[in-house]
Amino acid sequence: MNTLRVVCHQLAPRIADVEHNRALSAEAIRGAAALGAQVVVLPELMQSGYVFNDRHEALAVSEDLDGPTLTLWKALASELGIIVVAGFCERLDAGRLANSAALIEPDGRLTVYRKAHLWGREKLIFTPGNEPPPLVETAVGRIAMMICYDLELPEWVRLAALAGADLLCAPVNWPDGPRPADERPAEIVRVQANAAVNRMFIAACDRHGEERGVNWVGGSVIVDADGYPLAGAVSHQKEQRLVADLPLAQARDKFISEHNHVHQDRRPVLY
Provide the binding-site residues for a copy of itself, judged by CB under 8 A: 116-123, 128, 130, 132, 149, 152-156, 158-159, 179-180, 183-184, 186, 189-190, 192-194, 196-197, 226-229, 257-260, 262, 265-268, 270-271
Q: How far is the CB of 102 from a copy of itself (least distance, A)?
A: 21
CA distance 109 to 128: 23
Q: How far is the CB of 153 from a copy of itself (least distance, A)?
A: 6
Q: How far is the CB of 16 from a copy of itself (least distance, A)?
A: 22
By beta-carbon proximity to a copy of itself, the closer residue of 118 and 222 is 118
By beta-carbon proximity to a copy of itself, the closer residue of 83 and 145 is 145
By beta-carbon proximity to a copy of itself, the closer residue of 14 and 184 is 184
By beta-carbon proximity to a copy of itself, the closer residue of 107 and 226 is 226
By beta-carbon proximity to a copy of itself, the closer residue of 12 and 262 is 262
Rg from Cα positions in the chain: 17
- CA distances to 48, 106, 124, 210 from 144, in Å: 22, 16, 27, 29
By beta-carbon proximity to a copy of itself, the closer residue of 192 and 220 is 192
The SS3 call for residue 86 is strand
What DSSP character marks residue 225?
A: T
Within 8 A by CB and 6+ apart from 90, the residues are 62, 63, 64, 65, 97, 98, 99, 100, 112, 114
Q: How far is the CB of 85 from a copy of itself (least distance, A)?
A: 21
Q: How far is the CB of 223 from a copy of itself (least distance, A)?
A: 10
The SS3 call for residue 143 is strand
Per DSSP, the chain holds a count of helices (H) and strands (E) of: 5, 14
Q: How far is the CB of 6 from a copy of itself (least distance, A)?
A: 18
Residue type, position 52, single letter: F
- Are the C-beta atoms of residues 101 and 88 closer than 8 Å to each other? yes
CA distance 137 to 165: 9
